[in-house]
Amino acid sequence: MNKRYIGALILAPLIIFLFLGGYYLKYAVMVLSLFGMYEFYKVSRKKHYKPIGLIGYILCIVYYLNMGNDFGASFNIYILIAAIFVLLCIPVLHVNYNFVDVALTIFGFLYVAVFFSFIVFINNKTYGEYLVWIVFICSWVCDTAAYYSGRFLGKGGKHKLCPKVSPNKTIEGSIGGLLGSVIGSTIYGYVISKYGVPIQLYHFVIIGVICGIFGQFGDLIASSIKRYVGAKDYSSLIPGHGGILDRFDSILFVSVVAFYYITFVLRL
């Protein structure tokens, strides 16, 4: 069996947590965050940086344990400032660490744990049990459509999308991915409207566009990090897909932009 399909089977249990929602989804996302942070810190060490993983993991766990129904910005800022305060003391007490290691520790938490948490915040919103699926539909349909569009329409790779970051990605694949995101989001919006979700269909078209664009940015950003440290994948945890960050790189960005649209445009 193709390794990509084996990897998809490994990820299948996540669907159960999406259906369950609530605390089940929150702690499932926390586990994904911890694995993702581990991968980020691990590849950072390839460039001889030394992020302080233990504090990063503790910060992640505290963040999720104290997570409410919304972002709770004030309390989370207090947590973050306290963590930075402690981290900045470490290079003084242990000269093998420096301010770059501190910055990478915090960045790993923000990039992985905080971005992942927007999945939970969307799920906690009104109609969130429906809207949270948008994150995965837009991201995974975009990835799949981009893969096959690039494979069949971008043969020869003449029209590179961003060759210095990800040399195999083509403009044809990018356009195909964007269209896939829009079509997937629109169809899903139509379906859930039949279940009493009172959101006009054009919003799902817009969500499909912004998620299709920024999901690809998420993919390219992950590629730029791997390229800088000289890693092909973040890990080999998921056969055919790499690590958690390899598979969820676009979802990290899609969850953020979807949350902002739902919050500030749809006002849910």
Per-residue pLDDT of 76-103, as tens digits, reads 788 888 889 999 999 999 889 999 999 9
In this model, does residue 268 exceed pLDDT 50? yes
In this model, does residue 1 exceed pLDDT 90? no
pTM over 0.85: yes
Q: Give the domain extent around 201.
A: 3-265
Given its phi and psi angles, is residue 70 left (phi above 0), alpha (psi -120 to 50 degrees) or beta?
beta
In this model, does residue 110 exceed pLDDT 90? yes
Q: How far is CA 29 from CA 178, 218, 237, in A?
A: 26, 18, 16
Contact assessment for residue 112 and residue 43, using Cβ atoms and an 8 Å cutoff? no
Residue 149's pLDDT band (boundaries 50, 70, 90)? confident
Structural domains in the chain (count): 1
